[in-house]
Structure 1
Amino acid sequence: MTVSSPVRFPDASSRSTMTRRAWWLVGFNILLPGSAQLLAGDRRLGRFGVVATFILWALAILSLVLFFAWRPAVYAVVTNVIGLTAIQVALVFYIVLWIVLTVDTLRLARLVRVGPTARWLVAALAVAVLIGVGGTANYGVVVTGATRDAIATIFASGQAAEAVDGRYNVLLLGGDAGPDRLGLRPDSISVVSVEASTGKATMVGIPRNLERTPFSEGSPLYGPFPDGYDCGDECLISYLYTYGEEHPDLYPDAEAEGSNPGIEAMRDAVEGTLGITLQYYVLIDMQGFSDLIDALGGIEITVAEELPIGINGGPVVGTIEAGTQTMDGTTALWYARTRYNMTDYERMVRQRDVQVAVIAQFEPANVLTKFQAVAEAGAQVVRSDVPQAALGYFVDLASKTKDLPIATVELIPANGVVVERPDFDRIHQMVDTALAPTPESE
């Protein structure tokens, strides 16, 4: 710029010149933050703003390229506490820089010398863009912070486990710690098995009243129950959670590894029942589960026939109509738990319906618009030993799972399973068949 430059050294007595200059400065600030300062203000501040802007553009382009070319790398960053903290700090930095550059641009524009009508239009444009960009970035800060806090609360530290027989098997427990029960008792027991190469998922449902659970010789429960879980009376698999909690010496390292003795007892029981290895667990508080469903905006389920709401021996407190409908958290919880004149096995199927429907609701756009509520609800109702280091990989795997149908296997009498005296060899065969490698994985 020369001394005669009308941008740096304008004729302040000419309103038309000052008006055009103000529009140019505000436009440059919007298109390339820092350029207004290079043209008419503090060049050092301008160079800093322009360089910072180019770095932001480069990072955005790099992220976009990686998202399409190497998506797991992006997921690894956005599911890592350190990575999320860095993103949050960067966003705060750019918000502050944007405010400083915009306010300084308005100072340089010398609005008092601008035409009366244009004066307010120039200011309104600068402020509107400032609010739009700053507000978007601020939402990013909130989302990033909520994600980081949820990850730190829900997931464990440590190293990721390897796939076993090409699969990741996750124990999913629906905890029911109501006021009428002593401690927590798993109300829903299932396993989500995901094929590592394709993302194809299979859910195996286990009745909570399954008896005579076997244990492998390496299990701490094999010592007290070498011939399977036999407590002398009604020995249901769900009771083993309480047994584990009452005998913490069996699993002395559980808490340090992000679990507890009750969960580890259930893990051993389910491994013995299905004949597979479980790398991880997820424990969900069923009562709080309704908050998560509400945060997602409800779930869509097709109800086969009108369903009375209530408990056997008690009054009917409502009904769930037949047909496809969107359920809020309370209705979905009743759908999953009601047992009025019904068997536990019918309820198991409905619980699986709810689980699949929740998975379907985790669409990126849906979660993003409601992210803070989803993250807060998830942190309150979910506990897991899935390590933070593995989250990026599992998010990528889950994106494949969502595009495929989820198969289900229910270990119920209708499928030939006698819960009082199960044929575990037959159960193992059923599970092996259901989890056989798909042609795509070979």
Structure 2
Amino acid sequence: MTASAALVQERPLRNPDSTSSQMMTRRGWWLVIANFLFPGSAQVLAGNRRLGRIGVVATLIMWLLAVGAVLTLMLWRVVFFTIVANPIALFAVEVLLVAYVVLWVILTIDTLRLVRLVNVRPGARFGIALLSVALLVVAGTTAGAAVSKTDAARSALGSIFGASAASVPPSDGYYNILLLGADSGKGRDSMRFDSISVVSINADTGRVVITGIPRDLEGFPFSKNSPMRRFYPDLHEGHGSPTCGWTSAINQLNTELDVCRDGAKIYPKAKEEGSTPGVEATKDAAEGLLGIDIPYYAFIDMAGFASLVDALGGVEITVTERLPEGGGPKYEGEPVEKWATGWIEKGTQHMDGETAQWYARSRKTTSDWDRMKRQRQLQQAILKQFTPTTVLSRFEEIAKAGEHLVRTDIPRSMLGYFADLGIKSKSEKVTTIELTPANDVDQFTPDIAYVHGLVHKALHPPSPSPSGKG
């Protein structure tokens, strides 16, 4: 046996017998598959070892980062979500993914060169080339999708969450967030909040309590340290302004601060902290009414609400009474059949965004109390839809909808913690409180001490006795 023949036998991948089409074909398949499974390995085995080592090291780094991410998600979820909520970290991930895909393309082209298609069996040439391109497309498409989702997350985080707001510890075991909903349409000199509620999240268990506040509720106090105490030392009542357009209802505070008072002087730090004077006044009012600290808010623009529901794939709702769609009667006593543009029928149905929006708005044939219940029902249905499967499969749509839907002063540094609590909350039942006559709360002269007790009992329910009673 000659020396060259022995070398071919010992190292058929690096020093193949180019006259054997069978060997070259088998070698070609192996190199293409090796390049896909472990980029860089084809070069180490049969080509430029320096280029191969670069590919192998890059692949090992990517695998280590992926395994590290999975382990962090499993063992230290707060750390994982804190990292992925950081725009700088997300940008670094994008750069790494793009750089790795470019390297993979270079390695694939070089692998095809190493295959030497002219020495492969004629019938296998097209197959090897096609497989190489197909595997590259699969890898590139996967990486491209990851880059797209990462970029969508970075864009959404930058437009929704405030980086300058300070992180605060939980208050009495809970993080309380003021949730506001309104239409910010054109032609309005100021916005009135159509939906006001406070979401309380248990800092340990993730248990959620939602307290609904009627938008027309009056006779509430502001929190002890609120600058609004200068105007209303006791209760916010009987101070409407017919020329300015606000009343003493809680949903009028935004108008009062934005149009009728110099809100920027009353709440000078609101803008830099990602809020507005009207929102801060509403926070202070909710704190005084409920007897809890509310450090953060989230505003949902109802004009874009439908896009979020559609991004989530719709919501499942059980409708208890037939409801009309449409802007309402043009004159007093106009029959509903004349102005209704459609109907939401009774029964369980899967609602798209437009239907869900009408379900949340409709009140011409019912009451504000009924509408509050429906809005809370929708909130719970939307929370239920935020499953890992839904979020991953529809991430870009959800992120895009969120950019145009939500404003908040929750700092990005808290997102990891809140994301972890969100996962915990999936196993907990959501508790709701409506401050309505059904719960003995008067809309015009609420008993503040009673409301405080009602909220405290919901947040801190008595532990069941060993016998199961009480």
Same fold (TM over 0.5): yes
> What is the alpha-carbon distance in structure 2 between the residues aligned to residue 116 and residue 422 of structure 1?
87
Are 1:116 and 2:132 an aligned pair? no
Match of 1:50? Answer: 56
* One-letter amino acid of the structure 2 residue matched with residue 290 of structure 1: A
Match of 1:238? Answer: 251
* One-letter amino acid of the structure 2 residue matched with residue 193 of structure 1: S
Residue 405 of structure 1: how far off its partner (Å): 1.4
- 1:17 paired residue among 4, 7, 23: 23
Are 1:423 and 2:447 an aligned pair? yes
> What is the alpha-carbon distance in structure 2 between the residues aligned to residue 111 and residue 167 of structure 1?
66
* One-letter amino acid of the structure 2 residue matched with residue 379 of structure 1: E
- 1:200 paired residue among 203, 207, 223: 207
Match of 1:69? Answer: 75
Stretch deviating more after TM superposition (390-399 or 360-369): 360-369
Match of 1:87? Answer: 93
- 1:223 paired residue among 208, 211, 230: 230
Are 1:367 and 2:391 an aligned pair? yes
- 2:177 paired residue among 151, 170, 177: 170
Residue 310 of structure 1 contacts residue 340 of structure 1 at CA under 8 Å; is this kept in 2? no
Stretch deviating more after TM superposition (60-69 or 40-49): 60-69
- 1:135 paired residue among 130, 141, 154: 141
* One-letter amino acid of the structure 1 residue matched with residue 214 of structure 2: P
Gaps of 5+ in 1: none
> What is the alpha-carbon distance in structure 1 between the residues aligned to residue 435 and residue 328 of structure 2?
23
> What is the alpha-carbon distance in structure 1 between the residues aligned to residue 463 and residue 29 of structure 2?
63
Residue 309 of structure 1 contacts residue 340 of structure 1 at CA under 8 Å; is this kept in 2? no
1:166-209 Cα deviation digits (max 9, x unpaired) = 10000000022345743111000000001111000000000000
Match of 1:404? Answer: 428
3-state SS of 1:252 partner = coil
Cα 1:17/1:69, change in 2 over 3 Å: same
Residue 347 of structure 1: how far off its partner (Å): 0.5
Provide the aligned C-alpha RMSD in A.
1.7
- 2:190 paired residue among 160, 169, 183: 183
1:354-373 Cα deviation digits (max 9, x unpaired) = 11111111111112111111
Residue 221 of structure 1: how far off its partner (Å): 0.5
* One-letter amino acid of the structure 1 residue matched with residue 316 of structure 2: E
> What is the alpha-carbon distance in structure 2 between the residues aligned to residue 73 and residue 12 of structure 1?
54
> What is the alpha-carbon distance in structure 1 between the residues aligned to residue 148 and residue 82 of structure 2?
19
1:279-333 Cα deviation digits (max 9, x unpaired) = 2100010111111111111111111122222455352222111111111111001
3-state SS of 1:367 partner = helix
3-state SS of 2:193 partner = strand
> What is the alpha-carbon distance in structure 1 between the residues aligned to residue 326 and residue 286 of structure 2?
29
> What is the alpha-carbon distance in structure 1 between the residues aligned to residue 183 and residue 438 of structure 2?
25
3-state SS of 1:257 partner = coil
Match of 2:270? Answer: 254
> What is the alpha-carbon distance in structure 1 between the residues aligned to residue 60 and residue 222 of structure 2?
60
- 2:295 paired residue among 279, 290, 297: 279
1:350-405 Cα deviation digits (max 9, x unpaired) = 01111111111111111211111110110111000010011011100100112211
> What is the alpha-carbon distance in structure 1 between the residues aligned to residue 175 and residue 461 of structure 2?
13
Residue 190 of structure 2 contacts residue 254 of structure 2 at CA under 8 Å; is this kept in 1? no
* One-letter amino acid of the structure 1 residue matched with residue 363 of structure 2: R
Are 1:355 and 2:371 an aligned pair? no
Question: Please, what TM-score do these two structures have when normalized by structure 1?
Answer: 0.96
Residue 437 of structure 1: how far off its partner (Å): 5.8
Stretch deviating more after TM superposition (173-182 or 241-250): 173-182
3-state SS of 2:284 partner = helix
> What is the alpha-carbon distance in structure 1 between the residues aligned to residue 20 and residue 426 of structure 2?
63
Percent of matched pairs sharing the same residue: 49
* One-letter amino acid of the structure 2 residue matched with residue 123 of structure 1: A
1:3-30 Cα deviation digits (max 9, x unpaired) = 5433222222221121111112112212
Stretch deviating more after TM superposition (389-398 or 26-35): 26-35
> What is the alpha-carbon distance in structure 1 between the residues aligned to residue 365 and residue 39 of structure 2?
68
* One-letter amino acid of the structure 2 residue matched with residue 363 of structure 1: T
Match of 1:340? Answer: 364
3-state SS of 1:186 partner = coil
* One-letter amino acid of the structure 1 residue matched with residue 281 of structure 2: A
* One-letter amino acid of the structure 2 residue matched with residue 112 of structure 1: V
Residue 207 of structure 1 contacts residue 345 of structure 1 at CA under 8 Å; is this kept in 2? yes
